């Protein structure tokens, strides 16, 4: 096991009816900016529940934070927060809204050009306090301190992280997911699955508990993913999905082990260039990445095939191939295409994608830093 | 899944050489009281490393906190802390030292008779900040807010808990366990194992992730327990044991599920009356408790037999019996006797033990509150 530091201060308030707990979690005297996106939040009762729970507090609202939240949009929220002199932010939505709210929280206390937080990885040493009401199980943003922000004008999609951008609390009410479109549920399952894989499918360091926890999350997602699509009103299925997605990226399973994240970094470029959903890009890149890097990941791929997919027969190479094929089949069972061609993208954009990776410094990806631009190019070619 | 609130603010600093991190974690101006027990801490280099890391800070020391820490001893530490005007406590040891230090931290800020924190469950609303350097993987006290304190004069062993008695940080260096006697390692493995069981072997609530995490911890403890005895200098074995024991009782696997704790409560009375090690009492009570309550725990016992012990053949009753027998055999493999008679205790003290449970209000134990004094008596008779 590798040495590590782990701390996660976010308070999780989980279950049906918990939005009412906002009244106890948000300071009574707070001037609140509620941030949200669009879609189901406007048609279901979540926003109404939030407004009721906030009672007589001074509340402003900023809607329209889009998937892959845009710097340009978020800076409008920063301006509104300043104009209203707010002192607490409340994100109501999924990973995009929460990621975006983390950026707003940081930008409000940042001296200088806030885009430098992404482009130059400027240190974020202060942020406005914020909480979240999660409505989409996927990103894990509700219990971590990271965010991914896109700059539309520049065509960039970049990540940031800091010790001061953990939500103070996050309310996870599985019933808020009942009205989500199937596509968002499918995306959420795949996103959470790949988050686990990026922290698990590297090389062994004899971290037995981390491995068992990661495998437990993967097995759970395989078990409930199709049911989350087929039985959208099953509370326990949605509850297990919500908690699994949170634990997939709250730092716990990644503590003390090598991490990969090359699939995410390549996926970000596909989203930035072609506008695909984040999870679609992961479903495209991961099977190709595992195929290209199967020797480096050999020992963990064998463990993965056995413990997650119960593949115990055949040669080692057959078991590895079987595990990768099962991964692809699972994504497709979740109705998400796993090849660029499924989205009418051919190989002609690969050169641009690789150039963007190089522009963003993504030249030594993976758990060993050996996923060079050339390897990324081969991965993308395998993904056509 | 049941509704829950989960928050754990403790910062974990894990790995070989991490005691030096104390210098960054303890305020530079702190007046520190270092608390410890006896035994290996005096013969190994841990205390010397702690003194070095604390540098020029004003440091007092209080040694001699015993296993099953005594109220009488801890109140001496409270007096010393007041005399020295300390403002930070640092526990160096295992669960007894950390539990005791939580009580010292609470007592220092408590108005009235501190024993009321245990006897009357008085609310602890403030505590002196403290950290820990863990040297014994077992209790999980390093990442939770609970403590168990004994009153020697009264023959009581009681628990308390509060939101303000989490360690600010805990340093987990597996090499500090290399010099532990085999008995303490064996006790630690059994203690951690039973902590998981008390939060897992109840009735199903379709909490898939919690179940998988609990099973992952149990499988890991079964795998490494014997190796921790046989290969005392294997770093990874000790690292996995240390992290597993912490995660066994940091609140995570118990969030959103029913909990039992009847084995612990009965075990506490055996320790208070007969002086057995805490883990010895758990190894005695658990197999008897599972036998007595096998119908109420039927569904989870079947899951336990299959997922932890790979018992898939035979009738349901045979699999349940097999799982309980495997549990007993594991404890005995860890060199810990599982019957009262192994410790030269016969049935004559059962009446006293049951009377003590009643005196302490332990009249409706277990996940359904149906472990009455009569059931506890039957469990103890099965344990003779």
> What is the predicted pLDDT for the residue at A93?
96
Measured between CB atoms, which of A209, A244, A252 is closest to B217?
A: A209
Q: How high does pLDDT run on average in chain A?
A: 97
Task: Reply yes or no on whether the pLDDT at A296 is more than 80.
Answer: yes
Least confident of A13-22, A231-240, B34-43, B149-158: B34-43
Q: Which of B12, B17, B21, B209 to mutate to test the interface with A (most CBs of A within 10 A)?
A: B209
Q: Which of A1, A225, A238 to mutate to test the interface with B (most CBs of B within 10 A)?
A: A1
Determine the pLDDT at residue A42: 76
Contacts of B230 (CB under 8 A, 6+ apart): none
Q: Is A183 exposed, middle or buried (0-12, 13-18, 19+ CB in 10 A)?
A: middle
Asked if residue A76 lies in contact with residue A101, where contact means CB atoms within 8 angstroms, the answer is no
Identity of the residue in B3, B9, B240 whose CB atom sits nearest the CB atom of A1: B240
Residues B17-43: what's their mean pLDDT?
Answer: 93
Average pLDDT rounded to a whole number, residues A352-362: 96
Contact B3 A17 (CB under 8 A): yes
Q: Domain check: are B101 and B194 in the same one?
A: no
Q: How confident is the model at residue A43, as a pLDDT?
A: 75
Cβ distance B11 to A14 less than 8 Å, yes or no, reads no
Instruction: Answer whether B240 sits within 8 Å of A8, measured CB to CB.
Output: no
Residue B157 binned pLDDT confidence (cut-offs 50, 70, 90): confident
For the segment A367-371, the average pLDDT, to the nearest whole number, is 98
Chain B: nearest CA to A168, how far in angstroms? Answer: 10
Q: Residue A143 contacts by C-beta under 8 Å, 6 or more apart in sequence?
A: A8, A10, A12, A166, A167, A170, A246, A247, A249, A250
Measured distance CA(B110)–CA(B74) in Å, rounded: 14
pLDDT at B38: 84
CB pairs under 8 A between A and B: 117
**A342 is a domain residue:** yes
Residue B186 sits in the same domain as residue B317: yes
In chain B, what residues touch A247 (CB-CB under 8 Å)? 209
Q: Tell me: pLDDT of B122 over 90.
A: yes
Buried b (16+ CB within 10 A) or exposed e, A111-144: eeebbebbbeebebeebbbbbbbbbbbbbbbbbb
Same domain, A16 and A72: yes
Distance CA B224, CA B254 (A): 23
For residue A141, give the DSSP letter: G
Q: B6: nearest CA in chain A? A: A12
Burial A12-22, CB ≥16 within 10 A → b, else e? bbbbeebbebb
Kindly state whether residue A277 falls inside one of the protein's structural domains: yes
Pair B150, B199 in one domain? no
State which residue of chain B sits closest to A168, comparing Cα positions: B7
Quick one: pLDDT band at residue A38, thresholds 50, 70, 90? Answer: confident
Longest dimension (CA), chain B: 66
In a 13 Å sphere around the CA of A164, the CA atoms on its Cβ side amount to: 15
User: What residues 229-258 of chain A have any CB closer than 8 A to a CB of chain B?
Assistant: 236, 239-240, 243-244, 247, 252, 255-256
Any idea of the CA torsion for B85, B91, B95, B96, to the nearest 10 degrees? Answer: -50
pLDDT band at B155 (very low <50, low <70, confident <90, very high): confident
A217–B212 C-beta distance less than 8 A:
yes
**C-alpha neighbours within 13 Å on the C-beta side of residue A110:** 22
Instruction: State which residue of chain B sits closest to A219, comparing Cα positions.
Output: B212
Let me know: does A73 contact A66? Beta carbons within 8 Å: yes
Q: Are residues A334 and A365 in the same domain?
A: yes
Asked if A303 has any chain B CB less than 8 Å from its own CB, the reply is: no
CATH code for position B201: 1.20.1090.10
Average pLDDT over residues B284-296: 98
Task: Kindly state the average pLDDT of the residues A143-166.
Answer: 94
Nearest to B13 among A5, A16, A206 (CB): A5
CA distance A320 to B107: 57
Write out chain A residues lying below 8 Å of B243, CB-based.
1, 209, 256
Whether the CB-CB separation of A142 and A246 falls below 8 Å is answered with yes
- Say which of B8, B216, B236 has its CB closest to residue A216: B216
- How would DSSP label each residue in B334-364? TT---SGGGGT--GGGHHHHHHHHHHTT-SS
Query: Which residues, other chains included, contact A374 with Cβ-Cβ below 8 Å and sequence gap of 6+?
Result: none
- How far apart are the C-alpha atoms of B347 and A38, rounded to whole Å? 68
Q: Decide: A50 and A33 in contact? Cβ < 8 Å.
A: no
Q: What is the mean pLDDT of residues A267-290?
A: 96
With respect to residue A2, please indicate whether it lies within any of the assigned structural domains: no
| Average pLDDT for A66-76 | 96
Residue B6 domain flag: no
- pLDDT above 90: percentage of residues in chain B: 96
Sign for the pseudo-dihedral over CA of A248, A254, A258, A261:
positive
- DSSP three-state, residue A153: coil
The minimum CA-CA distance between A219 and chain B, rounded to whole Å, is 9
**What is the rounded distance in angstroms from the CA atom of residue A82 to the CA atom of residue A75?**
11
Is the same domain home to A62 and A143? yes
**Looking at the complex, does the CB of residue A189 fall below 8 Å from at least one CB of chain B?**
no
Range of the domain at A103: 11-176
| pTM > 0.90: yes or no | yes
B178-209 pLDDT, tens digit per residue, is 999 999 999 999 999 999 999 999 999 999 99
> Which residues on A lie below 8 Å from B220 (Cβ)?
208-209, 212
The dihedral through the CA atoms of B52, B53, B59, B61 has a sign that is negative
- Of A176, A193, A228, which residue is a domain's last? A176
What pLDDT score was predicted for residue B156? 87
Q: Tell whether B214 is within 8 A of chain A (Cβ).
A: no
Of A144, A176, A208, the position where a domain reaches its end is A176
The answer to whether residue B111 is domain-embedded is: yes
* Per-residue pLDDT reduced to its tens digit, B328-353: 999 999 999 999 999 999 999 999 99
What per-residue confidence (pLDDT) applies to B120? 94
**What is the C-alpha separation between A350 and B150, in angstroms, rounded?**
68
A20 touches chain B (CB under 8 A): no
Put simply, the answer to whether B15 touches A3 (Cβ < 8 Å) is yes
pLDDT surpasses 80 at A2: yes
Q: Cβ of A11 and B6 within 8 Å?
A: yes
Output the domain CATH number for residue A139: 3.40.50.1970
| Shortest alpha-carbon distance between residue B339 and chain A (Å) | 30
Residue B309 binned pLDDT confidence (cut-offs 50, 70, 90)? very high
Q: Which of B2, B9, B209 sits opposite A244 (nearest CB)?
A: B209
Q: CA nearest A207 in B: which residue? A: B240
**Farthest-apart Cα atoms in chain A, separation:** 66
User: Residue A159 corresponds to which tokens in the numbers above?
Assistant: 């990540």
**B310 has a chain A CB within 8 A of its CB:** no
Query: pLDDT digit string (tens) for B214-229?
Result: 999 999 999 999 999 9
Q: Give a yes or no: residue B2 inside a domain.
A: no
What pLDDT is attached to residue A195?
A: 98
Whether the per-residue pLDDT at A94 is higher than 90: the answer is: yes
Phi, psi of B36 (to 5 degrees): -155, 180
Residues A320 and A364 in one domain: yes
pLDDT at position A274 over 80: yes
Question: Does A1 fall in a domain?
Answer: no
Residues A225 and A118 in one domain: no
The C-alpha atoms of residue B225 and residue B331 are separated, in whole angstroms, by 10
| Whether A240 and B207 lie within 8 Å, measured CB to CB | yes
CA angle B247, A299, B330 (to 5 degrees): 45
C-alpha to C-alpha distances, B164 to A131, B9, B36, B102, B130, nearest whole angstrom: 21, 10, 21, 9, 10
Per DSSP, the three-state class of A248 is coil
Residues A212 and A261 reside in one and the same domain: yes
The C-alpha angle B228, B233, B236, rounded to 5 degrees, equals 65
Q: Which two tokens stand for residue A231?
A: 């039985």
Residues B67 and B132 in one domain: yes
Handedness of CA A314, A319, A325, A326 (dihedral sign): positive
| Residue A12 contacts B where some CB pair is shorter than 8 Å | yes
pLDDT band at B40 (very low <50, low <70, confident <90, very high): confident
Structure confidence at residue A44 (pLDDT): 76
Alpha carbons within 13 A on the beta-carbon side of B369: 1
Q: Tell whether A167 and A239 lie within a shared domain.
A: no
Res B78: pLDDT: 98
Residue of A nearest to B224 (CA): A208
CB proximity list for A377: less than 8 A, separation 6 or greater: A350, A351, A354
| Nearest-by-CA chain B residue for A237 | B206
Chain A CB contacts of B219 below 8 Å: 212
**Quick one: A307 and A197 in the same domain?**
yes
Q: Do A14 and B255 touch (CB under 8 A)?
A: yes
| Selection from A188, A197, A269 nearest residue A225 by Cα | A188
Q: Residues A41-60: pLDDT tens digits? A: 777 799 999 999 999 999 99
Exposure of B356 by Cβ count < 10 A (0-12 exposed, 13-18 middle, 19+ buried)? buried
Last residue of a domain, one of B176, B202, B228: B176
- Give domain status of residue B1, yes or no: no
3-class secondary-structure state, position A294: coil
Q: What is the mean pLDDT of residues B354-380?
A: 97
For A217, the closest of B14, B17, B209 (CB atoms) is B209
Residue A244: list chain B partners with CB under 8 A.
Answer: 208-209
User: Are A160 and A147 spatial neighbours (Cβ–Cβ below 8 Å)?
Assistant: yes
Closest CA of chain B from A314, distance in Å: 22
Name residue, tokens 């099965």. B382
Q: Residue ranges of the alpha helices (H) in B14-160? A: 22-25, 40-43, 46-54, 71-84, 95-108, 116-119
Segment A200-210 mean pLDDT: 98
**What chain B residue is nearest to A223 in terms of C-alpha separation?**
B208
Chain A residues within 8 A of B14 when measuring between CB atoms: 1, 3-6, 255-256
Cβ <8 Å between B14 and A5: yes
Sign of the dihedral defined by the CA atoms of residues A227, A229, A230, A236, in that order:
positive
Domain count, chain B: 2
């Amino acid at each position: 096991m590798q040495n590590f530091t782990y701390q996660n201060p976010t308070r999780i308030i989980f279950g049906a009816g918990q939005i009412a707990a906002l009244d106890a979690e948000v300071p009574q005297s707070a001037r609140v900016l509620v941030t949200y996106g669009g879609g189901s939040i406007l048609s279901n009762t979540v926003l109404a529940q939030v407004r009721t729970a906030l009672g007589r507090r001074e509340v402003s609202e900023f809607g329209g934070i889009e998937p892959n939240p845009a710097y340009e949009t978020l800076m409008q929220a920063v301006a509104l927060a300043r104009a209203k002199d707010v002192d607490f932010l409340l994100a109501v939505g999924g990973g995009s809204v929460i990621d975006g709210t983390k950026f707003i929280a940081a930008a409000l206390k940042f001296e200088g050009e806030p885009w430098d937080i992404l482009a130059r990885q400027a240190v974020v040493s202060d942020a406005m306090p914020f909480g979240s009401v999660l409505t989409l199980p996927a990103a894990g943003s509700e219990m971590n301190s990271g965010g991914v922000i896109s700059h539309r004008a520049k065509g960039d999609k970049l990540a940031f992280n800091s010790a001061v951008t953990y939500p103070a609390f996050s309310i996870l009410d599985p019933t808020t997911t009942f009205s989500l479109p199937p596509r968002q549920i499918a995306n959420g399952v795949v996103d959470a699955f790949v988050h686990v894989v990026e922290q698990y499918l590297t090389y062994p360091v004899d971290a037995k508990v981390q491995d068992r926890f990661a495998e437990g999350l993967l097995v759970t997602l395989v078990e409930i993913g199709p049911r989350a699509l087929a039985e959208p009103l099953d509370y326990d299925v949605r509850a297990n999905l919500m908690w699994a997605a949170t634990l997939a990226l709250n730092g716990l399973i990644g503590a003390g082990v090598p991490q990969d994240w090359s699939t995410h970094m390549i996926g970000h470029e596909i989203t930035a260039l072609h506008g695909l959903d984040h999870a679609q890009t992961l479903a495209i890149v991961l099977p190709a990445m595992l195929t290209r890097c199967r020797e480096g990941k050999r020992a963990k791929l064998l463990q993965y095939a056995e413990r997650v997919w119960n593949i115990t027969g055949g040669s080692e190479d057959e078991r590895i191939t079987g595990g990768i094929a099962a991964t692809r089949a699972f994504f497709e069972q979740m109705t998400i295409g796993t090849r660029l061609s499924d989205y009418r993208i051919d190989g002609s954009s690969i050169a641009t994608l690789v150039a963007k990776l190089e522009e963003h410094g993504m030249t030594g990806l993976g758990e060993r830093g050996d996923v060079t631009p050339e390897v990324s190019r081969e991965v993308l070619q395998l993904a056509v």
